[in-house]
Amino acid sequence: MNGTARRALLVLAIGLLAFLAACSSGRSQGDLSQVVGFWRGVPPSQEEGCWSLVYRISEGERGFLRGHGYWYRGGFMESDFSLDAVVYREADHSLHAHYGRVTFDGAVDPYEGTAIGTYSYPGGSEALTMRRVPEASIPGLYPRTKTAGEPYVYEYRPPEETGDGWDTAPLESVGLDRRTIDTLVAKMIGREFGYIHSLLVVKDGKLVLEEYFYEYDRETLHTIASCTQSVASLLIGIAIDRGEIAGVDEQIYSFFPEYERFRTEGWDGVELRHVLTMTAGLDWPADWGGWFYVSRDYFEEVLKRPVVKEPGAEFEYVSPNATLLAGVIRHATGMHADEFAERRLFRRLGIEEFDWDEGRHRGYPRTDGTLRMLPRDMAKVGALVLRGGEWKGKRIVSEEWIEESTLPHTSDRGVEDYGYAWWSVEQEIGGRSVRAVLSRGTGDQYIVVVPELDLVVVTTGRNVTDAKRWSTMRILEDYLLPAIDEG
């Protein structure tokens, strides 16, 4: 081989190595402006649920692309994730993006602004067309900005009176320090607390703070996650008050006679109180979240679990246990939980809008976590507990039930106390300790009741990562309680 041929072969080898290096490292090639921006598509399997997928692709250093993904439902962001890799090759207009084991591979038409390809995930794949869209068409990207470059300037305004039963007032009239609240909301707009969608504060019976973010507003129903269980606990209390349930010492299986064939040794000791306090002692595998909610019959899956610990002896929070409350309410009252709630609780609180249909199973609403409410109405639930079961002078649930259900019956490794689907913790304010009763659900859904301060705090959100989870408690400890102390 002569020198010319060797040089040609060397150049070819270097080019091949460079190409392979680009492939292995995820480096893109060509005119990256053809793919930088926002892309939106609706997988065929998600059309019925009104879900859409959005990719945000941006150019990094040295020809690398970066990406972030968002799932939207009904115009609101439900989840987001960082793409592990984004690769575009202008030679064949191919686009590859993936996170974990989920991938999109498609062909880009830069003139039509489409990427037509395949969306693959564990267990299947489907055709997907992504379309390039302007940033302004993507809702909820920023807490309070109309565009990326136009920041929102916060100015406090007292909440409006809307005729829904809430009296409103300015912060200063109930002794809250305005500067501390201004600082808090500014930090929320700056994303210090992640995806908080609403923050409401009720002090001395007045709604004094009502703020919404990420394009949510007071008319948007919001999933309250495991706060649903606290509402279900109130329904159990109302049924007991009405004599439809004898008491919390009723055996659970007495409400499920049609499942008697699944009853195993130990269930005789499992009472309604043990379901309410998450102390049933059932054997749950660590991976229950991967299969429980696609099972044929929720009640069967719970009632056939072996009892491996003495009921009442040990706290173990497992959401599926709370699905049994739907069966208890139905058997005892003849009504499904949503109908019973509408008649006996919501209507009397002036709550007109709610939704409990998502995840409905064999006609039963899920009492472990799918109720959707307005934040103002969540605050009414908190006020009901604060006032010992009364709302606007009307008795809705007995004071005895409120006291019993919010008392500590067990604890989570001694850190937080737990009652009948209500948590309680001690909080410091002004050198003294006050007790806070909490209803909480994943994503920063909170109803916080502090009786000593005549205070109710409500948040909704979508904080599901470890870094931002339970931001509400930081908001309470670092800003709201100091605002009361300083006001």
Residue 133 DSSP symbol: E
**Nearest CA-CA partner of 278 in 135, 408, 472:** 408
State the residue for tokens 């990207």. Answer: 141
Task: Classify residue 136 by its DSSP letter.
Answer: G
**pLDDT at res. 146:** 59
Taking the CA atoms of residue 334, residue 374, residue 350 and residue 383 in that order, the dihedral angle to the nearest 10 degrees is 100
More confident residue, 150 or 336: 336
Give the per-residue pLDDT at 310: 97
Average pLDDT over residues 161-166: 97
Q: Which residues contact 417 (CB under 8 A, 6 or more apart)?
A: 408, 409, 410, 411, 423, 424, 425
Cα Dmax for the chain: 101
In degrees, rounded to 5, the angle at the alpha carbon of residue 164 between the alpha carbons of residues 395 and 337 is: 55
| pLDDT 10s digits, 324-341 | 999 999 999 999 999 999
The region that residue 90 occupies, defined by phi over 0 for left and psi between -120 and 50 for alpha, beta otherwise, is alpha
Q: How far is residue 437's CA from residue 456's CA, in Å, rounded to a whole number?
A: 10
CATH number of 22-137: 2.40.128
For 29-61, write each residue's pLDDT tens digit. Answer: 778 889 999 999 998 888 766 889 999 999 988
**Model pLDDT, residue 45:** 84
Q: What is the pLDDT of residues 374-407, one digit of tens each?
A: 999 999 999 999 999 999 999 999 999 999 999 9
pLDDT of the residue at 19: 38
Per-residue model confidence (pLDDT) at position 321: 98
Q: 399-406 vs 375-386: helix axis angle to the nearest 10?
A: 100
Same fold, 22-137 and 225-421: no
Q: What residue ranges do the domains of the chain occupy?
A: 22-137, 225-421
Phi first, then psi: what are they for 322, rounded to 5°? -70, -15
Mean per-residue pLDDT of the chain? 91
d(CA 94, CA 86): 11
Phi, psi of 237 (to 5 degrees): -60, -40
**Distance (Å, whole) CA 121 – CA 252:** 40
pLDDT score for 20 = 36
| Statement: residue 272 has pLDDT above 80 | yes
CA–CA dist 463, 449 (Å, integer): 21
What's the number of CA atoms in the CB half-sphere (13 Å) around residue 174? 23
Radius of gyration of the chain (CA): 27
- Third-level CATH fold of 225-421: Beta-lactamase (3.40.710)
- What pLDDT does residue 123 have? 87
Q: pTM for the complete prediction?
A: 0.89
User: pLDDT value at position 388?
Assistant: 98
Locate 139 and state its tokens. Answer: 């809702």
